[in-house]
Structure 1
Amino acid sequence: MSYFTIAGVQMYALHHGDNTEAMRHRIDLLMSRFPQVQMVLFSELVANGASTHHAQPMPCVMEEMFCQLAEKYRIWLIPGSMFEQVDDKIYNTLSVINPRGQVVCRYRKMFPFRPYEAGVEGGSEFVTFDVPNIGRFGVSICYDMWFPETTRTLAAMGAEVILHPTMTDTIDRDIELSIARTNAAINQCYFFDINGAGAMGNGRSIVVGPSGDVIHQAGIGEEIIPVEIDLNRVRRERESGLRGLGQPLKSFRDREVDFSLYRSETGSTPFLDSLGPLAKPARADIEEY
């Protein structure tokens, strides 16, 4: 079987506080209205808000509630992400829950939105998981998508669908829409980029096909986005090319270039090192008259 239905949930939520009951209500409504849905994906940090003060160790009570919902409806569930406390460190962590209510993997955001997302550590492990008889899925979070190596690595690990919760409330959302399409096209995969609404994002979630085609782009308000995908489309386009043309994954595999800059033993990249520290822009002094 190659058909699979994924629903993204773009919802209003409290920026600082527990949104899990609202999420439960959305799932109840979604599964009542669209019982064909097999996987549900929420936006970044929607469950417990965007403050690191709410970080907690995992597993936790909130995660267990989502496990119960996944088992109740027999769905795969990615409830966005939550801040995870590990000793004195905090990570932005996503849980993948299967239809038996089990956490099959957790992913820690590799690229916190520095310098703005201060005090959050970056993860170091790529995560993919298999849905039996369907295909392989990869996960990333928000700012990760701005670094093409992250999605390319997931594709090289066999991911056919990228699940990407985000919390973008800034004026660069239009750029992210282009990045989502680009990531899908150059890696010949589906890309589900689900944003929050209101205080937790400016909406415009996007679902992109493996040719970079927009399957659906949401507005700025609340929206439930059920989309049936066909994994055979990914396999066919990876075999024969995007629109019968470019085959970027095969070309990357068969490349002559070594990209030695990424393998520097010293970690030195002279040009990048010249760019200065990763810090918030300072306000320029204005001469008083």
Structure 2
Amino acid sequence: MSEPSPEVVLGLIQMSCVEEPRRNVEKAVEKARQAASDGAQIVCLQELFPSLYFCQTNDPKFFDLAEPVPGPTSELLGKLAKELGVAIVASLFERDGRDYYNTACVLDADGSFLGKYRKVHIPDDPRNYYSELFYFKPGNLGIKPFATKFAKVGVQVCWDQWFPEGARSLALQGAEIIFYPTAIGWQVVGQEELGKAEYQAWETVQRGHAISNTVFVAATNRTGREDHLNFWGGSFVADPLGRVLKRASHDREENLIVPVDLKTLAEVRKDWPFLTCRRTEEYSL
């Protein structure tokens, strides 16, 4: 296999969803085609993109949305990835026997299924409409990067973004870009100033992961109102200095097409060798 190019073009698909999964998948496929046409080489879809964010309530009927991974949707995306010559990061509701997970899979540009990551940190916050522990078991596959045709990528899912350990683990294993498929927003009825602060914290913590691990970070969020939540969009890509290279709007669907130069990683690490200066022998509790 030839060496990847130092420049990689990311395509983040920020979209709203409806109740019918088929329509959401069709929309995602259409938007992925457009992103590839615009030059994207790695396409990332938002968290649980085939459905509405059903975790606002505890209702057993939503378990019917789950599917095996690999399964029908990942196979469809694998064929699409091969057709377009792109890698795809996709977040799905996984059923594995009697267990259910919030799972992201990675499809390479030849259509191959590189593997999957199961969301490790599961929010249990029904008061704020994030009642995920009712639906998902915590991930049990570990945290590891995937070597796509274009770059070595890591994946964390939404709530994982608030914890530094996943990003650090991926960076130490050679990840160059960390993707965060996300579903997060403001409460429709809530304190406006608090909501603004939460949004700023959300972006800031991920930019911090980019800096402290000298990696690119790409967060893909959904947009639109669903029941009690108004998803704030704001998908973005940050470089290893924490600079936002491009940011999507809050209130509309958007394909964010962002070229990143992987040579930047080595250049920044010469000046800021955070990963090699760690003192793990001093970190024990």
Is the 8 Å Cα contact of residues 15 and 199 (structure 1) preserved in structure 2? no
Find out whether 1:83 has 2:98 as its counterpart. no
Find out whether 1:29 has 2:34 as its counterpart. yes
Per the alignment, residue 168 of structure 2 pairs with 152
Is the 8 Å Cα contact of residues 105 and 127 (structure 1) preserved in structure 2? no
Per the alignment, residue 61 of structure 1 pairs with 72
Higher share of residues assigned strand? 2
Q: 1:142 aligns with which of 131, 141, 158?
A: 158
Residues 1-289 of structure 1 mapped to structure 2, 5 A cutoff = 1-14=5-18, 17-18=21-22, 19-32=24-37, 34=38, 36-51=39-54, 52-53=62-63, 54-79=65-90, 81-115=91-125, 116-119=131-134, 120-124=136-140, 125-132=142-149, 134-170=150-186, 171=195, 172-199=198-225, 201-220=231-250, 221-241=252-272, 247-252=273-278, 254-257=279-282, 259-261=283-285
Deviations 1:40-71 (A, max 9, x none): 11110112333342112222211111111111
Is the 8 Å Cα contact of residues 238 and 245 (structure 2) preserved in structure 1? yes
CA distance, structure 2, for counterparts of residue 156 and residue 174 of structure 1: 27
Is the 8 Å Cα contact of residues 15 and 50 (structure 1) preserved in structure 2? no
Secondary structure of the residue that 1:248 maps to in structure 2? coil
Percent identity (aligned): 27
The 3 A distance-change label for structure 1 pair 174 and 14 is farther
Name stretches of at least 5 consecutive residues in structure 2 with no aligned partner. Answer: 55-61, 126-130, 187-194
Name stretches of at least 5 consecutive residues in structure 1 with no aligned partner. Answer: 242-246, 262-289
Amino acid at match of 2:209: N
Is the 8 Å Cα contact of residues 12 and 196 (structure 1) preserved in structure 2? yes
Amino acid at match of 2:145: T
Q: Which has the larger radius of gyration?
A: 1
Structure 1 stretches of 4+ moved >4 Å: none
The 3 A distance-change label for structure 1 pair 121 and 231 is same
The 3 A distance-change label for structure 1 pair 31 and 256 is closer
Is the 8 Å Cα contact of residues 35 and 43 (structure 2) preserved in structure 1? no
CA distance, structure 2, for counterparts of residue 77 and residue 187 of structure 1: 23
Aligned residues: 250
TM-score (normalised: structure 1): 0.81
